[in-house]
Amino acid sequence: MVAECRHGNTHVSFFSDLISTVFERRYRRALSDQADGRSLRELAMDLLGTRGEVSGSALAHMILDRYAAMSTDDKIAFFDFLTHDLGIVAEDVQMTLHAYQNVPSKDSYRAFAAASEPRRQELARRLNQVPGGTAQLVAMRRDLLRMLADHPAFAPVDVDFKHLFSSWFNRGFLVLRPINWSSPAEILEKIIAYEAVHAIDSWDDLRRRLQPADRRCFGFFHPAMADEPLIFVEVALTRGIPNSVQDLLADARTEIEPEDADTAVFYSISNCQAGLAGISFGNSLIKQVVSDLSRDLPQLKNFVTLSPIPGLNKWREATGPETTATDQDQAIAAFYLLEAKRADGLPVDPVARFHLGNGAMIHAVHAHADLSENGMKQSNGTMVNYLYDLSQIAKNHEQFVSDGSVIASTEVRTLAATVHREK
């Protein structure tokens, strides 16, 4: 046998994975024997107490396992406990704040810092110390988000979760990985499951998105959730900027050589973890991929999306110009993207807000670009290219956030102006 053990070690890791699993399994069994009538609340208090220092990982496992098996009602009771029993104590905050103001010192500051952070944050950190803990905490927040509408009192718990996750899922801890036909099946099946924009209906369909030389896919991963993509983007390498997603994904399309492409099209971006809602990765992902692709394929000139306009028809019905002539679709979409604003001055369209907020500009608008049922329903099939020019995005972004300026190509401006005049 080749000494794969040391160097390639797939073989070896398999048996060891197995060993781990067996070991883990026995360990969990032993744990459940200890389950000894203590309530989840008591276990949580133990974990926060001195016991937690030494038997922390056993306690953390027990709590997470119990939580996972709970009914919705029990989960509600648990979040209630987090909300009311492990929140801040206003008097403590005030007292320690005064003490710190009077005598600013290490001790007085530490006391204030401890008092002003609710204990549920420390609980989450201690639960996070076991393998798989991070993923289970993300799942816990997913549950919480679903309950918030009915239980608005839990909102502070969510604020704390989001605060912790922003720190743990800091961009500096994320890993960009290509996802391709050599990726593990357990990751690929998640791509099929999570694709949110243009559904992948089978493994063969997936292969068509990943295997051809003119297709790419990249995702962000976190080291503590190594099998779970956080967000991924699908890219097509093309000659020219495409104006139809069906053409882009057509079975019969002609594959091109990557080095013959002049354009990279980000035609689908999907967030994967409901429990990480509000933690933004998309901006970093696109910029990282633009940067990596330009290094790899220096002849690429354009980095654009081919994006849906999800709010177009809804807006049109409510407040749009009266024409229903479809030969106006393009101009109306341009108008909508440039002019339809919310009270805060930002575009009505959520996808527009995302890309313009990233510093992209509106490059072109295409009618008949997404003839799928969903595409017709949301925008009569009209789509838009947002263009990422690394040398402009900082400037574009600043204009956008300072006064809501939407940067667009002359062509798009002209189209929008047509509508303006008509109105």
Rounded-to-integer distance, Cα 356 and Cα 348, Å:
12
Beta carbon nearer to a copy of itself, 155 or 371: 155
Residue with tokens 């401006």: 413
**In the annotation, is 368 catalytic?**
no
Helices 133-147, 51-68: inter-axial angle, 10-degree rounding:
50
Kindly state the smallest distance separating residue 234's Cβ from a copy of itself, in Å: 15
Non-local CB neighbours of 334 within 8 Å, separated by 6+ positions = 362, 365, 408, 412, 413, 415, 416, 419
Beta carbon nearer to a copy of itself, 1 or 343: 1
Beta carbon nearer to a copy of itself, 227 or 411: 227
Q: Quick one: tokens of 396?
A: 């574009």
Beta carbon nearer to a copy of itself, 179 or 332: 179
Rounded-to-integer distance, Cα 63 and Cα 61, Å:
5
Backbone torsion region of residue 278, taken as left when φ is above 0, otherwise alpha when ψ lies between -120 and 50, otherwise beta: left
Kindly state the smallest distance separating residue 416's Cβ from a copy of itself, in Å: 25
How many CB atoms lie under 10 A from the CB of residue 238? Answer: 22
Kindly state the smallest distance separating residue 304's Cβ from a copy of itself, in Å: 18
Kindly state the smallest distance separating residue 26's Cβ from a copy of itself, in Å: 8
**What stretches of 230-302 show up as alpha helix (H) in DSSP?**
245-249, 282-296
The DSSP bridge partners found for residue 176 are 220
Beta carbon nearer to a copy of itself, 6 or 421: 6
Q: Quick one: tokens of 261?
A: 């492409």
**In the annotation, is 405 catalytic?**
no
Beta strands at 215-221 and 175-178: parallel, antiparallel or unpaired: antiparallel
Q: Which of 198, 355, 363, 366 is catalytic?
A: 355
Q: Quick one: tokens of 379?
A: 């925008």
Kindly state the smallest distance separating residue 47's Cβ from a copy of itself, in Å: 13
Contact 192, 270 (CB under 8 A): no
Q: Quick one: tokens of 332?
A: 């109306």
Q: Quick one: tokens of 185?
A: 């099946």
For the chain, give the number of residues.
423
Beta carbon nearer to a copy of itself, 103 or 371: 103
Beta carbon nearer to a copy of itself, 15 or 252: 15
Kindly state the smallest distance separating residue 90's Cβ from a copy of itself, in Å: 5
Q: Quick one: tokens of 119?
A: 């204990």
Three-state secondary structure call for residue 417: helix
From residue 257, how far is each of 116, 215, 260 by CA, in Å?
Answer: 58, 10, 5
Kindly state the smallest distance separating residue 97's Cβ from a copy of itself, in Å: 6
CA dihedral 242, 244, 246, 247 (to 10 degrees): -50
Q: Which residues are catalytic?
A: 307, 355
